[in-house]
Structure 1
């Protein structure tokens, strides 16, 4: 937009020679008498900024960042195409109804050392070279027919028209469909909402200057284009109202038009301008842009109401161009700092991505082999350090061995909790035995089958928690190995993916083997066995501990659950067996 604005101004001030129909508006050589101080003003103040944005566009920045542009919006048949033609000098399709059916990005490029005219149109991946200016309108219509069909529908797809010539400024303009309210013919019933959505997509960009075109012979308060511009630009920083068709104003209503221009009716921060562009009859009469500018000047000079607007600098295409130059300078001043900030941010993001890629890969085959060996060697060294528990960690991180030690500590607590929780069940089992199955045993004698059943049940309850702990330890180890691979191969995605897959395979294989060993161990634990000497020591220690509690006037927490002597005895044996097993585990 930055470029577009300033150049349109220079173009506007330069009148075109007599050429038939639209060719004159397209790229005619300006008359010397129309090259006023406006062009010098443009060259001195706007051109440096235009060149800067142009260089950004040449570098491809426009693919990632929105560069300044000018969007012309207006209700259907408001004269916006005429304004666009007068500002840019490029002939676009004209007529009644929806003429612009696709967003048209018009890029004008000034050729410094060439005299030839060049045109090019791009849409849907198709690029067509335009031989002469008179073919522009035809090619644009053809492109719209391909994209939006032969009917009167619209499309969001862009048409890009590039025009290069010594007589055009570096300028970017966006021509958008005219706002309509009622579907006609084969148009979709929601055509009005479709057009509004398309226009809003462009005018809400902060890098866009909105030129709102309104005919003088309508009530400006009911203009949809102005209402939409206010929605996206409530402060009016990017909106300039342009009144067209002053020759169609009914007699007696001129004062109201003057009030609008002077910002009395619907105030805009940037205000309004009034212009008189070529009408359809002027085009049919092959009136050139130069002649149209002269005719416009005469119209305002002779008009009793609008003559004062001309003197105030609020009327005519050249005055509009001059006004846009000033507005453009201010808009560039606002846009460029934002663009600079965005460029810096994108540059930092890209630099961070590049750093992840590491050093360059050698091109020679032998160098590639050594490079690969070094990468694998570094990975293996880090794995070795990890398995030895010597890896370097940050202050907020923990070594793998410490994490695994915590899991084993949780397992030991689980064993103790399981033994304590089972006392109530054991008491019920012993009570059931005493009441239903006790035979000739005297009180205090332990039934071996009952003891064996209780021990096996306790062991069985610990099997699944043990397997679960194995899975947790395996996941911790796998995650640490994957982190090592990610650290060593960040720039080699396929290498990292292969390493991760191998780590997963090894983890699964080893985990399965470990689970088999754990389940086999629990099967062995189902066989009740303990060396006599070890068991006697454990049983004696248990009874001594209970005796000490009795001397202190306390009851063991275990004995408190079993008031009868048989229960006391079996609990002594269970405690001794559990204690001996804990000693073996430690």
Structure 2
């Protein structure tokens, strides 16, 4: 076998076996229905082997892989025929696995039946087309060294029984193949039809406007009326008006070798030629050109043998021209394999024994823990590129403490749910049986404690939000540092993240407890001698109701609009005796409040508001510090030691570092793929320096 072709065949086999889309050179046969594509292919093979019938018979792309065999060591040449196809995608429906079906045949007569069976299986019995490739592998001393792709014929009108989109599907498939830059286009057209009507040439012109990789084959020359001279078509002049193709070939219809109309065989007999009647396709074609005077002078440029010889030569040169591009694509594929293997951290394993080495597990565990811990700390501290266009890491905690939490505390308006009437009622209740001469300290403490208590829920919620943010930081750190072990050691990845989550949960409980205490301790001791509060008490001394000595009224933040809207004239006319308590102690009786009682209420509400603001500033400052101290910094400072303590026992980490069979299978598959790609690169190197041969 020709070594150049043999090496390229090995390259094709490797590329097909690894399922890559490398742009290997190929010859694509396109043409309209009934233009003679089957005749061209059968002429090249030398045998009728394609299915016949009405309408669209070819409904899958057919790859014709031909190799010439020779006699070796005194033995006859080997003849091998097979038809194969993949069922990874059937009728547009994906299957779970790619299954290759191969059927070995004993002779050419069974190829058509095998193609029909493969078509029925691939189309699922439907009348549409599918993209699955049917490969016809022919190794014989009677076939040339060529690889061709036969595509469904172009459809002008969709006939009854065909899917409406079939024409578009056929055109889409043809465009896909002829768009491949390494494809040689064999545009087939019936010789007796005006070439301006050629669908194949028009399709080729769209993707190859200069015709550098397009050849035209005019078929069925013997069916053209002998009175019609198509020499201009055969020499390329007429074809060139549409597309200046590289060359035009003319061949006759050799189906059956006997069905020849228009009388060229009878002409042969009537001429009285002493030559023997043609016995095979080559002699038949020779006889045709000799019996047509207009074709006789160009006979040496046309015919099956000239077409095969020229295509073989051009295809070899085409392979050589595209080897540099193919080498680049192979290098890219090898780099991609290496990258995927690196993602499995193949370099973490000892070079000698791999994952079975007895000393590799603990150092690998320490490495993973160290990487994760550093990434977690850096994410919190902010001195790392988060690789995101969103705020992540420690800055989110800062926004929580100084924006979200502050806003939530500011939304708490002291005494917003307490009216002046309720305050007055509380003052009276705290006084008991004895009348009060001064402002009630007990009433002040009762009211201010209730308001301070409102900050506890918001403060505890801040702990929950910080805990949630720490979990996000954990996941982010894991994605940045140990994401590679998720596929290789999923149990270890889960154990690390679960251990961090468990530790965060414990620290959250402690931080919540401390935050609650930091708020509740302000209920245990009301410091009325606080420096800022003493100033508020001084301001409260001059607090007066409107109209009384024209003093300035300081309005607290409470909700006392209802009482302020009462008419002041009614209040001024109240007699001193009417201000005394009656025997009826109804808290809803607003007539019990005189101007002094209302002033006391205003002062109490003012002081409660002032004291609440003081405590709110203290709580707002202390809660973030508590969360950072008992949650954030505890995780930063201790997570590495916690992980080591939890995972260090061998009975814990050894099962976690047991590589899954799926990961091992992926590594073996990637390694085998890389080896095949490297083998393909070696073949490309050989092809680059080998002579093209005959």
- 1:335 corresponds, among 287, 305, 322, to 322
Query: Is the 2:375–2:480 Cα contact (8 Å) retained in structure 1?
Result: no
- 1:574 corresponds, among 607, 612, 617, to 612
CA shift for structure 1 position 467: 1.6
Summarize the Cα distance change of 1:578–1:85 in structure 2 as closer, same or farther, 3 Å threshold: closer
1:350 aligns with 2:340: no
Structure 2: state its 5+ residue gaps: 86-99, 260-276, 429-434, 540-553, 558-598, 626-694
TM (normalized to structure 2)? 0.62
Corresponding residue number in structure 1 for 2:661: none
CA shift for structure 1 position 172: 0.7
Any residues of structure 2 matched to 1:131-530 within 5 Å, and which? 131-133=106-108, 135-137=110-112, 139-140=114-115, 143-144=118-119, 155-166=130-141, 168-181=143-156, 192-250=167-225, 253-254=228-229, 258=233, 261-263=236-238, 266-270=241-245, 273-280=248-255, 282-283=257-258, 287-299=279-291, 302-304=292-294, 306-307=295-296, 309-310=298-299, 313=301, 315-321=302-308, 323-324=310-311, 327-328=314-315, 331-332=318-319, 334-357=321-344, 358-359=346-347, 360=349, 368-382=357-371, 396=385, 403-404=393-394, 407=397, 410-411=400-401, 416-423=406-413, 425-426=414-415, 429=418, 439=428, 447=443, 448-481=445-478, 483-486=480-483, 490=484, 493-495=487-489, 497-517=490-510, 520-521=513-514, 524=517, 525-526=519-520, 528-530=522-524
Corresponding residue number in structure 2 for 1:552: none
Summarize the Cα distance change of 1:366–1:498 in structure 2 as closer, same or farther, 3 Å threshold: closer
Query: Is the 1:117–1:164 Cα contact (8 Å) retained in structure 2?
Result: yes
1:123 aligns with 2:84: yes
Aligned-partner SS, 1:206: coil
TM (normalized to structure 1)? 0.71
CA shift for structure 1 position 262: 0.8
- Note the alpha carbon deviations across 1:50-102, whole angstroms, 9 max, x for none: 46533422433673124212122222232222222333445423655355444
CA RMSD of aligned residues (A): 4.5
Query: Is the 1:207–1:335 Cα contact (8 Å) retained in structure 2?
Result: yes
1:107 aligns with 2:65: yes
CA shift for structure 1 position 287: 3.8
Aligned-partner SS, 2:322: helix
Query: Is the 1:71–1:203 Cα contact (8 Å) retained in structure 2?
Result: yes
Summarize the Cα distance change of 1:111–1:319 in structure 2 as closer, same or farther, 3 Å threshold: closer
Aligned-partner SS, 1:355: helix
Aligned-partner SS, 1:268: coil
Aligned length: 516
- 1:82 corresponds, among 35, 39, 46, to 39
- Note the alpha carbon deviations across 1:3-48, whole angstroms, 9 max, x for none: xxxx9xxxxxxxxxxxxxxxxxxxxxxxxxxxxxxxxxxx8xxx85
Separation in structure 2 between the aligned mates of residue 101 and residue 189 of structure 1, nearest angstrom: 15
Separation in structure 2 between the aligned mates of residue 171 and residue 152 of structure 1, nearest angstrom: 30
CA shift for structure 1 position 335: 3.1
Separation in structure 1 between the aligned mates of residue 252 and residue 449 of structure 2, nearest angstrom: 108
Query: Is the 1:71–1:210 Cα contact (8 Å) retained in structure 2?
Result: yes
Separation in structure 1 between the aligned mates of residue 78 and residue 258 of structure 2, nearest angstrom: 22
Separation in structure 1 between the aligned mates of residue 182 and residue 217 of structure 2, nearest angstrom: 19
CA shift for structure 1 position 244: 1.8
